[in-house]
Structure 1
Amino acid sequence: MSHYDRITQEFTWDNSPLLVAAGAAFLIGYLQYYYAIKLMLTDGKGPMPVWMHIFYLAHDSSFSYTLGRDSSRFGGHFFLLGSSRAYALWSALEIWCLYYGLRYHRMETFSSALGDRAACLGNSLRYTIFMLAAMYCAVLMVASMLGEGCMLHWGLLTNTIMIVGPTHEYMRRGSRDGLAVGFCVVNIACVIFTFAPFSMFAQTFPETFATKPFYICGSVLLLYSFWLLAIVVGYPPKDKERSKSN
Structure 2
Amino acid sequence: MNIISSLLSKYPADQVTPQDFIDKLTIGNPGWQSAYLAVLLTVIFGMLVYIIPIYLTEKDHQGPYPLYMHTFYCAAYFMGIWVFLDTWSKNGHVVLFLLLAIGEAIWVLMEIYSLQRALTYEKDINWKPGTSFKTRLRDVIFQVLIFYVSLNLLRFELHDSTMWKFWIFTQILITTVPGLSLEKQGSRQGHNVWLHVTLICVVIASFNPWCNMWAIVAPKLFSPANNPWYYITGAVCLFFAVHGLIVYLKLPAKK
| TM-score between the two structures when normalised by the length of structure 1 | 0.89
Q: Deviations over 1:86-136 (max 9, x none)?
A: 11000000001111222344113x13xxx346x321221111011111010
* Structure that is richer in helix per residue: 1
Structure-1 separation of matches of 2:174 and 2:195 = 11
Q: CA deviation at 1:148?
A: 4.0
Work out whether residues 196 and 202 of structure 1, in 8 Å CA contact, stay in contact via their aligned partners in 2: no
1:12 CA displacement: 1.0
In structure 2, what is the equivalent of residue 13 of structure 1? 27
Show the counterpart of 1:176: 188
Letter in 1 for 2:176: V
Give structure 1 regions of 4+ aligned residues with deviation exceeding 6 angstroms: none
How far off is 1:43 after superposition?
A: 0.6
What's the counterpart of residue 149 of structure 1? 161
* Cα offsets for 1:33-85 (capped at 9, x unmatched): 01121111011111100110111010001111220232122222232111111
Specify the alignment match of 2:217 in structure 1. 204
Q: Distance in 2 between matches of 1:105 and 1:165?
A: 18
More displaced stretch, 177-186 vs 165-174:
165-174
Q: Check the 8 A contact 1:39/1:179 in 2, yes or no.
A: yes
Q: Deviations over 1:168-205 (max 9, x none)?
A: 42112211111111111111111111111210011111
Residue of structure 2 equivalent to 1:224: 240
Equivalent-residue separation in structure 2 for 1:233 and 1:4 (angstroms): 43
Alignment of 1:99-178 (within 5 A): 99-108=116-125, 110-111=126-127, 115-116=128-129, 119-178=131-190
**Structure 1 residues 75 and 22: alpha-carbon distance in aligned structure 2, compared to 1, 3 A threshold:** same
- Ranges in structure 2 where 5+ consecutive residues have no aligned partner: 1-14
Alignment deviations for residues 222-244 of structure 1 (CA, whole Å, 9 cap, x no partner) = 122101110011112224xxxxx
Q: How many residues align?
A: 234
| Structure 1 segments unaligned to the other structure (5+ residues) | 240-246
Q: 2:16·2:160 contact (CA, 8 Å) conserved in 1?
A: yes
Q: Which residue of 1 aligns with 2:12?
A: none
Indicate the RMSD between aligned Cα atoms, in angstroms. 1.7
Q: Quote the offset at 1:2 in angstroms.
A: 5.1
Is contact 2:72–2:147 with CA below 8 Å preserved after alignment?
yes
Percent identity (aligned):
25
* Aligned residue identity for 1:124: R
Q: How is 1:17-56 mapped onto 2 (pairs within 5 angstroms)?
A: 17-56=34-73
8 A Cα contact 2:25 2:35, kept in partner: yes
Which one of the candidate residues 87, 111, 127 is aligned to 1:94? 111
